[in-house]
Chain A
Amino acid sequence: MKKLWLSLLGVAAAIGLATAAVPSATTQAADNSKTLKVGMEANYAPFNWTQNDASNGAVKIEGASGYANGYDVQMAKKMAKALGKKVVIVKMSWNGLQPALTSGKIDAIIAGMSPTAERRKAIDFTDTYYKSKLTIVVRKDSKWAKKTNINQFKNAKITAQLNTFHYEAISQLKGAIKESAMDDFPAMRVALESGVIDGYVSEVPEGITAKDANPNLTYLKFSNANGFKTNPEDTDLAIGVRKNSSLKAPMNEALSKISQKQRDTLMNNAVANQPSTTSTGNWLVNLLKQYGGMLLQGTGMTLLISLIGTIVGFLIGLLVGIIRTIPRPQTAGKRGLRAVINWLLAVYIEVFRGTPMIVQAAVLYYGAAQAFGINMDRTVAALVIVSINTGAYISEIIRGGITSVDAGQFEAAHALGFTHLQTMLKVILPQAIRNSLPAVTNEFIVNIKDTSVLSVISVSELFFSAETIAGQNFQFFHTYLVVSAIYLIMTFTISRLFRLVERHMAGPKNYNVMNNQMQVVTPKIG
């Protein structure tokens, strides 16, 4: 048992070191820093996408394995050059962009974002850097492919991306059925191809991309009179910056020097350079060859977060277990202190068990930055959230384990003069841990799967990698099939490993005292 405690201590120390070794929290992106941190989805070709190498002027994505490229990336490079700064591309989900900007995690949003009045309430925008036009992407073989007027979409099932003016523009399609908004374009393309929807509202460059990527799709060209009535504020794409940012003026000046012709060239290059999705040969081999590294890295990240999260959560659980079983002290002051601590622990457990981890992650990562200016590393935030969250669950699991230990064990230890801590460490916890091991295994497995929600703070774990890959190759089924196999291999291995540990802790089963008394070796005395 001593060995177990030593190894637990060792693990704890290792975690401490690992946490210290993780690059310290990124410094608050300031207007006067040497870098220009630009946020984008890197999943919205031809404006921005993720690729595996630095070809065609792509830029390395901060804190991840891939490179970003596209119209937005090229524009970001031009802006950085004009400002005399180094460009840094930060990949994050669409809904994470605005909070990341206001909380100072990035300096600018160049992500095909339109300066709507609503957004202007929270952030500032530069002048237009691209002017686009709305279109509808449909299946080539459907009757909608021949429409030339937006009034011809009676009973068509139409959707668009969540939180965009595209979605509001669906109301202009008379008689069309407005489906629920979707998260990203790859998902809409799949929905369209599978017939869940008849079309989605998008902008022309995205339409061109969709058509190139998938020969079954096409986009519609409307004349100005028959097309969508749009607000320039919407179709104009602008660079988002913080309110009153000193970056706005120099950026506007730089933009004014980029002619319409240059912009068209940039867009044409982007459309031409975007990742091709056609492939030949075995899909699995291709997938692994092209994205094996990304999958491996995602798997590693998932394992790291869930392993450390479970171990730290386990230690938290033990600590809470020790504290909550402290016997009622004699003096009123200590009794009061104990009551306060127990109440705090109960609040901790209820809060972290009672709210979704995805919400906790968003609150910690964005909230801490926005409210207190604390800017923490994504991976650190992920480790903290998973650990604290797991700790809340394991505290209750350990409590159950402690309750199931016979009261006589406590009494014997106390009667021998053990302190509470000694009683817990030497006698109670070893038994409680054994009782709770199956439930702890469960927590570990849940963690492996639940780290997928951390994509909300752009942690590049396995699910986030899968989303990125599927967004590039459009092979949703194949990609997610491979990823589910990886998840299954991880969880299955872990459940087997823990079964072995359990068996080891239970001790040998074939030790029959009554029959082999004489075979037990008696050490010599003296």
Chain B
Amino acid sequence: MTEPIIEVQNLKKVFGDHEVLTDINLTVNAGEIVSIIGRSGSGKSTLLRNINLLEQPTSGDILFHGNSVLAPDFDITHYRAKAGMVFQSFNLFNNLTVLENVVTPQVTVLKRDPAEAKQHALELLNTVNMDPFINAKPDQLSGGQKQRVAIARAEAMDPEVLLFDEPTSALDPEMVDDVLAAMSNLAHTGLTMIIVTHEMAFARDISDRVVFMNDGVIAEEGTPEQIFNAPHEEVTQAFLKRYLNRA
């Protein structure tokens, strides 16, 4: 299981005059769980959004199963269905109910039979304990509930990779655990996960590898033990200091 699924090569992203990503090289293997940590503004979310092509890379390349996602004939729609994304602000479709939020993408993108899609959706909503709310609209849910539906929605596409963009940052503390539990259930099921997070304990427990980003570059990467217990770089030490002192 060491076959690379996503390879980021010399990725650079510039917004106007502002260089957010300088030169990113990152290989993620199939089934691996990679957490990306770092200060706000270090480029973590931008990296994730580039991998999903929500942002267009300025230069460099991104490979999915060895194929460049930037190639003109690359099927981006299919790729996006295979590389799901969970957002900080949930982004459930406000015009659809909880159930429709999970069913519609399967039917629309994967052309799944509606009955089959519904069955699949109900199972997944059940695993995140959101099945009592299937007829509710997103407006009627709390943040933690919305995020659990969003995870079910991403899962329903049977993705190979799930990208989590600070999934708990917009939640009240008491809501965080439910969402982290839902994510833990997904880990080590063969699904590849790339998680941008500020939940250091969670990152340490769940990850196979931790990446520390600073000023648009990957400053250090390694196993959770290595990064959290014995970081080599000074910037990593400085960043983790507060967390390490507290722990």
Contact = CB atoms under 8 A, between A and B. Distances in A.
A411 B81 contact: no
Given A415-B85, A427-B95, A525-B123, A513 B133 contact: yes
Interface centre among B80, B92, B108, by most A CB within 10 Å? Answer: B108
Given A414-B54, A415-B80, A419-B77, A426 B134 contact: no
B16 interface: no
Nearest to A514: B142
B153 interface: yes
A231 interface: no
B136 interface: yes
A372 interface: no
A416 B96 contact: no
A419 B78 CA distance: 10
Contacts of A1: 95-96
Interface in B57-114: 72, 77-81, 84-85, 87, 89-96, 104-105, 108-109
B96 to A, nearest CB: 7
A520 B136 contact: yes
Interface size class of B (residues with CB under 8 A): 35 or more
B140 interface: yes
A400 interface: no
Report, as a range, how many residues of chain A touch the other chain.
Answer: 20 to 34
A523 B115 CA distance: 13
A523 B134 CA distance: 9
B133 A416 contact: no
A513 B141 contact: yes
Contacts, number: 92
Contact of A331 (B72, B78, B135, B154): B72
Contact of A417 (B92, B105, B150): B105
A520 B133 contact: yes
B66 to A, nearest CB: 20
A288 interface: no
A518 interface: yes
Contact of A409 (B91, B122, B131): B91
Contacts of B153: 416
Contacts of A523: 122, 134
A146 B96 CA distance: 80
Contacts of B119: 525-526
B105 A520 contact: no
A416 B84 contact: yes
Contacts of B93: 409, 412-413, 426-427
Contacts of B84: 415-416
Nearest to B140: A513
B105 A517 contact: no
B164 to A, nearest CB: 12
A431 B94 contact: yes
Given A422-B109, A525-B122, A417 B136 contact: no
B152 interface: no
Given A426-B104, A520-B136, 20 more contacts: A1-B95, A411-B54, A412-B87, A414-B80, A415-B52, A415-B80, A415-B87, A416-B80, A416-B105, A417-B78, A417-B79, A417-B81, A419-B77, A426-B108, A427-B95, A511-B137, A513-B141, A518-B132, A522-B134, A525-B119
Interface of A: 1, 330-331, 406, 408-409, 411-419, 422, 426-427, 430-431, 434, 507, 511-513, 517-518, 520, 522-523, 525-526
